[in-house]
Chain A
């Protein structure tokens, strides 16, 4: 019998632990030529803001060895257009829709959460408090326990939807932020976002990206992300969604073994639009080979290190 891959992130039930990372999958419709969205654990939307955002000046992308530095700047059509033009498509796809939100102020997060509260077809809210590519809000909120807790508490009061909070990579300080967000009422934590990064054109002696700096994703950051998930897993009881450079089932299993209950795939989708489906199949095969019937058996199953 095929292993049971279903998983709960607090009140949010998923039939597969593999979802997309916000910002890498648009609003789902962009990828329907390549996969059946109902095969995914969830679709996490591009981050929505109250007003439309044009995004940062190009170039917005710089590829590095096993990595991608991006500076998109939360380009999105805004709440109103999302609800009117993007959500109706996703609602019909029999896949949980997680709406990623970001505000310039705490109050904007609350306003977004209230607007989503009464809307049919939304399974959860993900608060993006970790974008490195915007001047206001974003990573500023996620970098300190007090502000991260403020945002979480205000959203918690504004909606009864399951609340995921996406944390930035912090060295040190992530455990404190995670603890504060847990206390403030989050249902699950997403770890991690892109790592702040920069690429320089040595001929021109200028930054390659139009915005100067960006965020690094892709396999280059995977060991860092696994470490952060493992660290946060020891600090909080909340379920975690692990992400950062996952391209194969083996990559995803590292995060699950480190303590994540679910995983998100981002940059890998650009190279292989079917990556999420293949990773899901690979996780099932891994469990089956080991005679495991349930994903729960692998989550947080890390054994002590050292020589065996």
Chain B
């Protein structure tokens, strides 16, 4: 069950460039949260931003009753969030949406993250490790500074592959190139992805070709966060619209529309 909870901000700091991390004491959200779910956050106090902003959960400490979000400053909402100080209250709805399913019987899974999209995958990796799964992790960013929390990732990944578009760290190129290469000799039980839509769409094509199942977390502009306003619709492969907030944010890779034909 989701709640409206106001909790104390423990920390709010810049990780690198436009990437920030905020930690908040929210016991009710923490105890209910599953990997891939999101929280809907009131980032400012006034009328601009008017709407909440959705953020997937990066880490959850149920015993301490704390959640951590990693976010990228993109506009009015996320900029307002950077102004919040430790000790202040944060107004949060959640946990919301359907997270990543970890079906029983899985042994090895691949996590594929692009940019700040790596956030919910870390929560997933921690849960997966706790249930004895092996995670191979592929992370991509525009530049090295965008490869966030590498030390934490090394602690949970059986194998960690990095890619940057400018070649400043790891493979030069996009993360899906790495995945494509490794897929030639390997096959995970499932792929779990979160990143730009283009990344998830290409993964959908590659996974289908390799006969691998998987999940991708999608994003959309959102108003209510609970399925009431119908504002966050995305078009799936079968042509139907689904709501990111209620039907997702995690969808089966098979449902994600693949790459369009042609350039």
Contacts and interface: CB of A to CB of B under 8 A. Distances in A.
A65 interface: yes
A270 interface: yes
B219 to A, nearest CB: 11
A63 B51 contact: yes
B224 A68 contact: no
Interface stretch (A28-36, A169-177, A223-231): A28-36
A19 to B, nearest CB: 14
B234 A58 contact: yes
B227 A30 contact: yes
Interface string B59-88: 000000000000000001000000000000
Interface residues of B, number: 32
Contact of B4 (A34, A46, A55): A34
Interface string B218-231: 00111111111111
A202 interface: no
B222 to A, nearest CB: 7
A154 B47 CA distance: 41
A270 B3 contact: no
Contacts of A272: 42
A25 B228 contact: yes
B228 A271 contact: no
A26 B228 contact: yes
B50 A218 contact: yes
A156 B3 CA distance: 42
Determine chain B's interface SS by DSSP, over half rule: loop
Interface residues of A, number: 35
Interface string B243-262: 00010000000000000000
Contacts of A59: 220-221
A25 B3 CA distance: 17
A287 interface: no
Interface string A57-76: 11111110111101010010
Interface in B1-46: 1-4, 42
B97 to A, nearest CB: 13
A143 interface: no
A166 to B, nearest CB: 17
Nearest to A57: B235
B233 A273 contact: no
Given A23-B229, A31-B228, A61-B222, A271 B52 contact: yes
Interface in B105-157: none
B33 to A, nearest CB: 14
A24 B241 contact: no
B203 interface: no
A58 B241 contact: yes
| Chain A CB within 10 Å, residue with most, of B76, B93, B223, B246 | B223
B242 to A, nearest CB: 11
B48 A66 contact: yes
B49 interface: yes
A206 interface: no
A81 B63 CA distance: 43
Contacts of A46: 228, 230
| Chain B CB within 10 Å, residue with most, of A59, A66, A270 | A270
Contacts of A70: 223, 229, 231
Contacts of A34: 2-4, 93
B50 A66 contact: yes
Given A58-B241, A61-B231, A219-B50, A33 B2 contact: yes
A258 B146 CA distance: 54
A274 interface: yes
Interface in A268-286: 269-274
Contacts of B47: 65-66, 218-219, 247
A138 to B, nearest CB: 16
Contact of B220 (A58, A65, A247): A58
A152 interface: no
B186 interface: no
A159 interface: no
B230 A72 contact: yes
Contact of A58 (B76, B226, B235): B235
B240 interface: yes
Given A75-B233, A273-B4, 5 more contacts: A26-B224, A30-B246, A34-B2, A54-B240, A271-B51
Closest 7 CB pairs of A and B: A26-B228, A66-B47, A30-B228, A61-B231, A75-B230, A30-B226, A61-B221
Interface of B: 1-4, 42, 47-52, 76, 93, 220-235, 240-241, 246
6 contacts: A30-B246, A55-B241, A61-B231, A63-B221, A68-B50, A72-B230
